[in-house]
Amino acid sequence: MKKRKKLKAVASLEGKSMSSLVSELIDDYVEEAMERMQDESERTCIFRMG
């Protein structure tokens, strides 16, 4: 419960709703994960060639 209260406080300080902040965090996470997967895919191709 403490994490939820902290998240609500952060969202409030940023002038956002909790749901919009969570949505933004999820979008950022997915984008970063896709970049990591792309990097890993490129590394795998390089290793296969070598």
Q: So where are the chain's domains?
A: 2-49
Whether the CB-CB separation of 21 and 11 falls below 8 Å is answered with yes
**The tokens 């290793």 sit on which residue?**
47
Whether the CB-CB separation of 11 and 20 falls below 8 Å is answered with yes
Entry pTM: 0.69
Cα–Cα distances (Å) from 28 to 4, 48, 50, in that order, read 19, 30, 33
Task: For the chain, 50 residues long, give each residue's pLDDT as a single digit of tens.
Answer: 899 999 999 999 999 999 999 999 999 999 998 888 888 887 777 677 75
List of residues 6+ apart from 49 with CB closer than 8 A? none
> Taking the CB of residue 24, how many other CB atoms lie within 10 A of it?
13
